[in-house]
Structure 1
């Protein structure tokens, strides 16, 4: 399995380099990108199967001790999220290939290679077992995402891209300062060793570390009040970029937050996280209701839905964390497909403003169906994946006696349904509007529709596999909250050379 873990990180980087060398030969470049992403997705699936059969795989890069070297860890949590993430990026790239050449896409020579670099960064962030390598992964994601945001060179993209970069560089600076403080206090940045040593620190120091990294990871996740960069950045970017960003980037912030704060025993921060979760839900959905553009509405919903995952984490119970994991798995394909549908609307109408589009239910019923399924899921309507995920969180909140956050979650769900109805009435039921010119070719439309259908199928797969996914999420939650399981898997029974500070 060591080779497969390496393939998930090194493979996309190598394919990206080759893709950049042949970037002007678009058929060859696209083939290389698809092969690189497909190989990474297959590696992730093989890794998940192996973890299910044989347990956690740990790679000590260069054979170094965990206290000093880089450790890659493929446990159930990492393998599950890696599968969902890599399949999502693969689907988005197929959509991008279908969209290439339309009037709105501009220069596409760097999109495929940069998606591969982004994939490598995401894989590294998911698989790493130490905070410094996590910092490197975040920077890899930041560089590739900035290029993807601004490669068309439009003024609005450059302006929002600068905001995105400045905020994320600030978060990176805070991350480095936090790393320095953690290393000073514990003499390590290895997550397994931190899970042992942070709980032994003075309470003030321990909570300070927890709050510091809550801000760092919360900025990446677009948690209230650290979300202001997102609603302005996403709507200006090309469809394929916003789709992969909405589906993945904020979710990686949530992923590392769940892993770090559970393993290091930060349950004292539960009330703070629950307050942030409630405010994130309400502010995000209120912002969505105030918008009049499909992409801006969906961008605010990226923020709002982060609150549900924070809710599960803030409960610090097996049911709560399991609900957060299941919600994370549900959100990645749902948010991706919502933005892909937004791209189909833009491709047909030339824009996504609710004042300028209408009648697509009659003229393009396939788009209406592709929108309706994830929209109902986003609002938590049964029997779709959002209902299963939200029900698990509501049940966990009730069992924990956290009535206030349960009420907030239900209110936010109601407003989410209202905002989805706003899009439905504006885009699909109003007076029909003529398609934009020039429209995409039939072949391009088929490929974009096919990619979007595949993403919708991913959301339906979460429903059909809800039972096994919940059992897996519960097992993941127990391991994270126990902490000792992760420590033993990463450090092993031979603890020679690993000294306490």
Structure 2
């Protein structure tokens, strides 16, 4: 008994052994801490609705500054890890951030800041009183935690945290349409999180650990069999549902058009991308052989998701419903980069150039690895672009719908003459989401098309291009009806005061046509232009992020202090 007690004590001492923490290590968890600190403070200010924007916006600025500082640290020094409670990996809970996680967290902080500024003009005092800003910080805290955690179960926990915040934002206003959309949203997310939890319990039963680095190292030594494949399929289904991939995407167009425009912007920009991030992290870093085996299935899911999104957008007569389907098409485009096989099927030029069989095999493997990295880099680039562009589209659509008193394309028009700056901003976003140069959506699509062709999947490249064509047609239709054509005669002849009254009832807004709402739109446009005209800076970051996922040696070293 004494021997057993000493053995347990020795294990505990080994698990608690750590090198200590530096002040800079706390930077890894600071984004989550900032969100919860300001969210709690805003709860105490719930009756001071006039004060809330003046407290919330500095908090979002601080969050963005912290995210940028963390990104710079990771880019300069490599992945960073903080172990909670001084426990040694893999015994304790790890916060581990690599370049991909830091990029997603930084862009999420950027769009959260833009939405927080926009909400100061667009969210009524009553909705502030019932928790818009606290729910916003709770949701962003969950999003940040999901991007920064190095533990699978805590990834599930952060999903739950962001969903709680999103539920609160979804039902602000308590209108019948909102409650109906929230019911569908909650039910489908309940199914998805249940599958996630089942898969995580299954994972713990197999590996005896929940630390991502530890799982990846153990999985690399195990033979790929039906047990691991089943686990990977469970995660694929769970994350595909959260990302709104075909055929699990029907919940998104049924719910994203119901809340306020600024809430739809947050959802469209961030929530589906958390599902994409988790899919990349779990399938491509933890279970690469199983992901490779499922690559043809993921490719078909990607293609069908793009087509459903493109054709769905063409069929819509409501501004927000149209944008909902553009979100879905974008998810399919991102999945194309996750669906590439690890080895290209045929590279005759490469093989004929080789001087001998061994050199040919080595060159083929190296080329195939480069193809996979290019595809994943394009997927990450497109995901970051989509976060920004979809947020901007919904915010600009909110201003346009407010000015017209309706979000129906049949009742909109004349905005090009009345509000040329808004029309120009919307045009930039539409060009970008269609993948047209010189904006941010063009370069990742080029990378995805090239990688698909190099991987001997020309049909997937054709699907990316055809989906872009459908979105271009839908975008041209949106702009022609809502902005270019004259305002329909019935609206033009109507009473302007009545139009404003209808708009106020519809959006419960303080007036998103105020100059304050243009600040975030201009900031989002600046990112779209910068990532399109000068793409090298972002392409280098996304290429490094993709390399870190495909070869996580530095990630392991950060967690274990030297790796194994």
Under TM normalisation by the shorter chain, which class is it? over 0.9
**Distance in 1 (alpha carbons) for counterparts of 2:532 and 2:53:** 32
Corresponding pairs, count: 492
Pick which of 130-139 and 196-205 moved more.
196-205
Q: Distance in 1 between matches of 2:77 and 2:555?
A: 15
- The residue correspondences of 1:94-493 to structure 2 (distance < 5 A) are 94-101=117-124, 107-109=127-129, 110-199=131-220, 200-264=222-286, 265=288, 266-315=291-340, 316=342, 317-432=372-487, 433-434=491-492, 436-438=499-501, 445-493=514-562
Greater shift after overlay, 12-21 or 120-129?
Answer: 12-21
CA distance in 1, matches of 2:285, 2:218: 11
Structure 2 contact 265–392 (Cα < 8 Å) conserved: yes
Provide Cα deviations, 1:123-149, integer angstroms capped at 9, x if missing partner: 100000011100110000111100100
3-state SS in 1 of match to 2:514: helix
Cα deviation, residue 486, structure 1: 2.2
Distance in 2 between residues matched to 1:443 and 1:470, nearest whole Å? 34
2:354 alignment partner in structure 1: none
Q: How far, CA to CA, are the matches of 1:37 and 1:299 in structure 2?
A: 26
Whether contact under 8 Å (2:93, 2:151) holds in the other structure is: yes
Match of 1:11 in 2: 34
C-alpha distance in 1 between matches for 2:552 and 2:28: 23
The TM-score with structure 1 as length reference comes to 0.95
Which stretches in structure 1 are left out of the alignment for 5+ residues? 496-501
- The SS at the match of 1:107 is helix
Alpha-carbon distance, 1:5 to partner = 2.3
Q: Counterparts of 1:135 and 1:441 in 2: how far apart (Å)? A: 36
Give the superposition deviation at 1:465. 4.1
- 1:42 and 1:82 map into 2 onto residues whose CA distance is 11
* Contact map agreement 1:36 1:116 (CA 8 A) in 2: no
Q: 1:5 touches 1:43 (CA, 8 Å); kept in 2? A: no
Alignment partner, residue 77 of structure 2: 54
1:300 to partner: Cα distance: 0.8
3-state SS of paired residue (2:95): strand
The SS at the match of 2:127 is: coil
**Range with greater deviation from structure 2 (257-266 or 124-133):** 257-266
- Secondary structure of the 1:152 match is coil
1:41 Cα offset (Å): 0.7
Distance 2:563 2:500 in 1: 67
For residues 561 and 445 of structure 2, what CA distance do their matches in structure 1 show?
36
CA distance 1:442–1:474, shift in 2 (3 Å): closer
2:413·2:484 contact (CA, 8 Å) conserved in 1? yes
2:118, 2:517 within 8 Å by CA — same for their partners in 1? yes
- 1:481 deviates by 1.2
Change in 2 beyond 3 A, CA 1:407/1:442: closer
Quickly say closer, same or farther: Cα 1:81–1:464, change in 2 above 3 A: farther
> Normalization by structure 2: what TM-score?
0.85
User: How far 1:86 sits from its partner (Å)?
Assistant: 0.3
1:100-140 Cα distance to aligned partner (Å, 9 max, x none) = 34xxx852321111111111101100000011100110000
Between the aligned partners of 2:267 and 2:88, the Cα distance in structure 1 is 35
For structure 1, which segment, 466-475 or 246-255, has the greater mean C-alpha deviation from structure 2 after superposition? 466-475
RMSD (Å) for aligned C-alpha atoms: 1.7
- In structure 1, which of residues 8, 22, 25 is the aligned counterpart of residue 48 of structure 2? 25
Give, in angstroms, the shift of residue 444 of structure 1: 5.7
Q: Please give the alpha-carbon distance, in whole angstroms, between the structure 1 residues aligned to 2:128 and 2:511.
A: 20
Closer, same or farther in 2 for the Cα pair 1:441/1:277, shift >3 Å?
A: closer
Name the structure 2 match of 1:88.
111
Is 424-433 or 42-51 further displaced after alignment?
424-433
CA distance, structure 2, for counterparts of residue 369 and residue 30 of structure 1:
28
Give the number of the structure whose alpha-carbon radius of gyration is greater.
Answer: 2
Alpha-carbon distance, 1:14 to partner: 1.4
What does residue 498 of structure 1 align with?
none
